[in-house]
Structure 1
């Protein structure tokens, strides 16, 4: 691997990790760093993942376009949720659109519902979590929360459908990245929902963000790396 290729391959994940760490420490309760840093490094971390996605997928324009759009919507949601109360509904809508973008993107690789059991699996998970929290969800938020949960679980299920349909094929590793990303997203949002609706969860910011950004990185990694990186690896 040449030095010119190795540097960005190492530098971008390292910068993303540093940015995520600063954001988590600044947004934790109690904050371990000045809280104002969270307002900078939280969106910066997602921006770095978007930049990572922009450097990949040149030979998959439809998938790349939809996944990048999802990351951009996620960035809007990240900014909105810096104000947890006032920004919750705008953030929910932003991430809802992000999941729709991801679903459409994954459907460019395999038809919707190509493998059915992941939809059953994530449907059961979603119903279990939502059912346990339902009594704590304010009436005015119940409809948008249900729509969001359907989009989230559908996104994860379609990612798994792509993976399971591609087992043994050349793009299986990329599909596996998408499946892990969808799974981590479900985990992150489940913890966020428990913290918001069922009562404070200890170290909530750490657990939510420490699964959220790996989820986004995994989804971005489902885009094929540039040929120069593949040849140099």
Structure 2
């Protein structure tokens, strides 16, 4: 009975996260106050899930993910404020990805598997080629730095998964991929080709990414294989 209750716990959190995310997305289209309330709340709920159920198998990784989620909450707030706070949001998410990257370095050395870095480098270059003609001059360097760090985080997550192929690392790898998809969609909508469904696509993939990264911490309670050398 205790094991069943424990297994059900993340489903309850995921349900609450999905509910808040849905309200935030609806709010982005029809009720701004819903968006303002539930956008940061959704990310904070993911952080609360990690705090409550993250376990102690890898405290350094757990701290890195919590730091990344709290920095992401700051980014959420900056990107929804009236006025142009884009650079502040970009900086917050840049720091979040650095936090995730540091946590992932604790699971496997950098470049432990090289092909994910080559794949994400090619994808990052393709996205930058699309964005480049549309980026304001003052944003070009910050965007390049952000794209490089985001791609490195996603690539390291995939490399960790290849070196240590368990459910926890697979979740982090998928989370990194969804984060790249979300941010690429956001950038294309903002700078190159705006489209009506952008908020839905960006926010849905963003919270899938954050939830998967959050769950990659909790999963280590049950899966503790020997680390590869």
TM-score normalized with structure 1 length: 0.90
Give the deviation of 1:117 after TM superposition.
0.7
Give the deviation of 1:224 after TM superposition.
3.2
CA distance in 2, matches of 1:48, 1:91: 19
Question: Of 164, 170, 180, which aligns to 1:176?
Answer: 170
Question: Of 43, 46, 58, which aligns to 1:46?
Answer: 43
CA distance in 2, matches of 1:7, 1:115: 34
TM-score normalized with structure 2 length: 0.91
SS at match of 2:218: coil
Q: Unpaired runs of 5+ in structure 2?
A: 223-229
Q: What does residue range 124-135 of structure 1 map to in structure 2 within 5 Å? A: 124-135=122-133
Q: What does residue range 33-72 of structure 1 map to in structure 2 within 5 Å? A: 34-54=31-51, 55-72=53-70
**1:90 paired residue number:** 88
Give the deviation of 1:53 after TM superposition.
1.1
Q: What does residue range 21-40 of structure 1 map to in structure 2 within 5 Å? A: 21-28=22-29, 31=30, 34-40=31-37
1:110-134 deviation per Cα after TM superposition (whole angstroms, max 9, x unaligned): 0011001100000000000111110
Give the deviation of 1:85 after TM superposition.
4.8
SS at match of 2:84: coil
Question: Given the alignment of the two structures, is residue 139 of structure 1 paired with residue 129 of structure 2, yes or no?
Answer: no
SS at match of 1:110: coil
Question: Of 146, 149, 154, which aligns to 2:147?
Answer: 149
Q: Unpaired runs of 5+ in structure 1?
A: none
Indicate if the aligned counterparts of 2:24 and 2:39 stay in contact, CA closer than 8 A: yes
SS at match of 2:11: helix
Give the deviation of 1:225 after TM superposition.
4.3
Question: Of 76, 79, 83, which aligns to 2:77?
Answer: 79
CA distance in 2, matches of 1:56, 1:195: 34
**1:198 paired residue number:** 192
Indicate how the Cα distance of structure 1 residues 4 and 208 shifts in structure 2: closer, same or farther if over 3 A, else same: same
Question: Of 90, 96, 99, which aligns to 2:97?
Answer: 99
Give the deviation of 1:58 after TM superposition.
1.5
Give the deviation of 1:11 after TM superposition.
2.2
Equivalent pairs counted in the alignment come to 221
Larger % of helix: which? Answer: 2
Moved over 6 A (4+): none
SS at match of 1:81: helix
Task: Single out whichever of 178-187 and 83-92 deviates more from structure 2.
Answer: 83-92
**2:19 paired residue number:** 18
CA RMSD of the aligned region, Å?
Answer: 1.7
Indicate if the aligned counterparts of 1:106 and 1:162 stay in contact, CA closer than 8 A: yes
